[in-house]
Structure 1
Amino acid sequence: MADITRRLGAHHLRSAPTAHIRHHKRGRLVHDGPGLSFWFRPLSAALSEVPVDDRELAVTFHARTADFQDVAVQATVTYRISDPALASSRLDFAVDPDTGSWRGAPLEQLGSLLTESAQQNALDVLARTPLAEALADGVSSVRERISEGLAGEPRLPATGIEVVAVRVIAIRPEPEVERALRTPARERIQQEADRATYERRAVAVQRERAIAENELTSRIELARQEQELVERRGVNARREAEENAAADAVRAEAEAARTERLARAEAESARTVGEARAAAQASWLAAHSTVDAATLHALAATRLAENVPRIESLTLSPDVLTGLLAKLGQHGGHHGDARS
């Protein structure tokens, strides 16, 4: 929109570089070009402002496919006004000299023209295309058809309009149809996910089996080593027992030989001692065989006295004393007889 200011009954217009200004004064073209700035009188001026920059027009419409399915088409048409003079002569781009705003709605007219032309071309191609194909390859085919249709539309050059680009954003079916179409794909994805899950579980089971087999192998090897260790310990214990038994046998033999030698020595010593005692006894008997009986009794009493324990006190009863005195008297009589 042009910027218009008022000073002392005169108006000043300043436009943007992307706006083409046409100023007519009393039917004569006074100013014509983009980005102009000038003074004018509103009562004698006719102003037109034509945008010459690229414009984006969002186009949304419904179409029906060959299998009678409703789809929504979202597209964007980029255009520009290449001939401002021709456009201003065909569409109302006049601006209010006081406010600088358009008196009409020229861009809405251009939008309707482009939307109707794009929709007509899109309907033609989608009406011959099944839904599945339209969803798969319809974007490119619809874009090409709209571009070709707009390029061949005679009203656009006659209005000074140039189409720069056409973009088809999406072709979408109705929500119920879209959910129905998504179901097989979701099922396939779910099946792939389930298969991946099963494969992962199978791999996990195989790994667990391998781990279990390794553990079993390790246990078997450990048991074998323990068995070898037990056998080795048994062999060592048996060898140690045999060596101990051999050592005990050697020790027993040595002890038996020593005991035998000691017994022989003791027997020899005992025999020697016995022989000496026998000889002494024989000599003793031989020496006493010539001695009379009284002498032998005296010797026996002496020997008995030597071997009798020490007597601290002796109590004699009258009977014993009487008998002892009687015996002493008898012995005295015998000695007297003998002396006589």
Structure 2
Amino acid sequence: MADITKRFGLLHLRAAPTAHIRHLRGGTVAHEGTGLAFWFRPLAAAISEVPADDRELSLLCHARTAEFQDLAIQVTLTYRITDPELAATRLDFSIDPETGAWRAEPLEQLGTLLTETAQQHALELIARTTLAVALAEGVRTVRRAIAEGLADDARLAELGLVVLAVRVTALRPEPELERALRTPAREQVQQEADRATYERRAVAVERERKIAENELANRIELARREEELIAHQGVNAYREAEQQAAADQVRAEAEAQRRTRLATAEAEAAVLLADAQAAAERALSEAKAAGQAAWLAAHQQASPEVLQALALGRLAENLPKIDSLTLSPDLLTGLLAQLGRPAPAGGAR
């Protein structure tokens, strides 16, 4: 939309670079072109604004196939007005000089024309096509049919309108029919998936069988090696027992020899000890005999009183312990009488 400002009773228009402006004053062209900017009087001006940029138009149409099945076709058109002067004379692109807005709806008219024309070519093509072909090749054929039909349309050429591109974004049947059509493909995919599952299971079973065979072979090999190990262990144990027996025999012989030598040494030592003890006992006996003889010889020369005193002394040594002693007058009288007697000649008192 053009930008219009008011200054001192005059209006100034400034157009976008993609807008074609046609200014008529008094029935003659005063200004014409894209991206214009000029002053004008609103009461004497007739201005048209034709877009010169590329425009997008999306449309949705329903068509019936040769089997009377409904198809929804979604198409996007790209168009441009290549002859703005011609379009301004065929459609109402006039704008309000005060606001710059279109007085009519020219773009809606162009959209309706393009939609109906594209639908016509799509319906004609789909009506001659079966559902399977339409679903398989419909996008390409519908795009080509619409593009060729719009390019050959005289009405569009008279309006200076050119369709630059046609894109078919979707071509779908009814939801129930679409689900029915998907069923065989889904079943086939499911069958392929089941087949892949069965093959995977078969491969897994085969691998498990090989694993079981390998485990069994490993167990057999392990049992064989254990048998060899047990045999080797028996041989080693037998050899170890033989060696142990030989070592025990050697140790027994050595111990017997040691004990024999020890017994011999002990016997010799016992003989020497017995000889020494016998010699000591003989010497002791001889010494006792000599002492006894000397003791007897000494006592033979002593008087009876001395012997009696010695006997009393030895008796006193061997008497039990006496806690108290009672002396009677009779005993003391006798002892005193004996002490008062004169001693015999050559004797002791």
- Give CA deviations for 1:40-76 in whole Å, capped at 9, x if unaligned: 0110000000001011111111000111100000011
Could you tell me which residue of structure 1 aligns to residue 231 of structure 2? 231
Name the structure 1 match of 2:61: 61
Tell me: CA distance 1:233–1:33, structure 2 relative to 1, closer, same or farther (3 Å). same
| Unpaired segments ≥5 residues, structure 1 | 252-340
Q: Distance in 1 between matches of 2:2 and 2:177?
A: 49
User: Could you tell me how far apart the structure 1 residues matched to 2:27 and 2:243 are?
Assistant: 142
Q: Secondary structure at the match of 2:181?
A: helix
Deviations 1:245-281 (A, max 9, x none): 9999999xxxxxxxxxxxxxxxxxxxxxxxxxxxxxx
1 CA distance for matches of 2:240 and 2:74? 99
2:126 — aligned with what? 126
Partners of 2:247 and 2:82 in 1: CA distance: 126
CA distance, structure 2, for counterparts of residue 25 and residue 240 of structure 1: 133
How many angstroms does 1:107 deviate by?
A: 0.6
- The correspondence of residues 1-340 of structure 1 with structure 2, limited to 5 A, is 1-237=1-237
Amino acid aligned to 2:186: R
Instruction: Supply the distance in 2 between the matched residues of 1:242 and 1:9 (Cα, whole angstroms).
Output: 138
- Paired residue for 1:308? none
In 2, the alpha carbon distance for the partners of 1:233 and 1:178 equals 79
Q: Hey, what's the Cα distance between the residues in 2 that align with 1:179 and 1:60?
A: 21
Identity %: 69
Deviation at 1:216, TM superposition (A): 1.4
Compared CA separation, residues 174 and 249, structure 1 to 2 (3 A): same
Aligned partner letter, 1:169 = T
Post-superposition Cα deviations, 1:319-340, rounded to whole Å, max 9, x if no partner, equal: xxxxxxxxxxxxxxxxxxxxxx
Q: CA RMSD in A?
A: 2.2
Give me the whole-angstrom Cα distance separating, in 2, the residues matched to 1:39 and 1:176.
62
State the shift of 1:96 in Å: 0.5
> Partner of 1:72: helix, strand, or coil?
strand
Instruction: Report the alpha carbon displacement of residue 234 of structure 1 after superposing the two structures with TM.
Output: 3.3
Residues 39, 223 of structure 1: CA spacing in aligned structure 2 closer, same or farther, 3 A cutoff?
A: same
Distance between the aligned counterparts of 2:124 and 2:153, measured in 1?
15
Deviations for 1:217-245, whole angstroms, at most 9, x for unmatched residues?
A: 11111100111122233344456667889
> More displaced, 238-247 or 102-111?
238-247
State the alpha-carbon separation in 2 of the partners of residues 33 and 248 from structure 1. 130
What is the alpha-carbon distance in structure 1 between the residues aligned to residue 74 and residue 83 of structure 2? 28
Question: Displacement, 1:197?
Answer: 2.1
Structure 1 residues 44, 236: closer, same or farther in 2, change over 3 A? Answer: same
Tell me whether 167-176 or 186-195 shows the greater mean CA deviation. 186-195
Shift of 1:9: 1.3
Instruction: Provide the C-alpha distance between the structure 1 equivalents of 2:158 and 2:243, rounded to a whole number of angstroms.
Output: 127
Letter paired with 1:79? Y
Taking structure 2 as the reference length, what is the TM-score of the superposition? Answer: 0.68
TM-score normalised according to structure 1 size: 0.70
Per-residue CA distance 1:4-44 (angstroms, 9 max, x = gap): 11112111110001000000001111000001000101100
Counterpart amino acid of residue 76 in structure 1: T
The offset of 1:152, in angstroms, is 0.7
